[in-house]
Chain A
Amino acid sequence: MDVWKFERLISEADALWNENKQTEAIQLSEKAINIYKGNYLKEDRQPYTLSLRERLKGRFVRSLIRTGRYWEDTGDIKKAAELYQKGIEVDNLCEEIYQQLILCYQRLGLRAEAMAAYNRCRNAMTAFLNSEPSVKTKEIYQRIVD
């Protein structure tokens, strides 16, 4: 993974987002998202690598959510859902991604997939955090079930 390129693209995209230049920002964000290949140097336990790995992951997740929301707002729900799925593969405990994915499936009329995404979220929360999904996630799920 080209770390320098990834960080440069994310920084440039952030600047464009802040200037409300969404079309250009999306192009750079998507390039960055495609460069990211999961946890950077996963086996390396050096403090410097750890800090870098966590920063890259954080920037990836933030960029992915921003990009997904853009596609949702512009009506390309399928594209947004695909992005969120990718996000969950990278961080299976990021509840915000599950919430957006469930909402996308709901908008696409894919009720079974929405319920499966909720169950996946609940299982991950239970297994890794010894906790339940948040009130907000449960409310989203409840709206689908009702």
Chain B
Amino acid sequence: MMDSYVIRIYRRDEQYPQNIIGLVEDVMIQETRPFKNFNELWEILRKKEKKEKERKRERT
């Protein structure tokens, strides 16, 4: 199944470009989560992927 996200970036740090402040909205479950840098953004997206894998493993 395809996942849909809306990623809104509200602020960029000119001195430290990796620091971006924003929100990720998971469209299907209508949940929003904030992030402060690329790592946090990646973690939010990865956690969902991990959860899906765990669910599949539990089913089999």
State the A residues within 8 Å of B (CB): 45, 47, 50, 54, 93-95, 128-131, 134
Residues of B contacting A: mostly = strand
Q: When chains A and B are docked, how far (Å) is the Cα of A134 from the Cα of B11?
A: 8
Residues of B within 8 A of A95 (CB): 10-11
Nearest CB of B to A68, in Å: 18
- Number of contact residues on B: which range applies? 10 to 19
| B4 lies within 8 A of A47 (CB) | yes
Which residues of B in the span 16-49 have a Cβ within 8 Å of any Cβ on A? 21-23, 27-28, 30, 32, 34, 36
Chain B contacts for A45, CB-based, 8 A? 4, 27-28, 30
Closest chain A CB from B38 CB (angstroms): 15
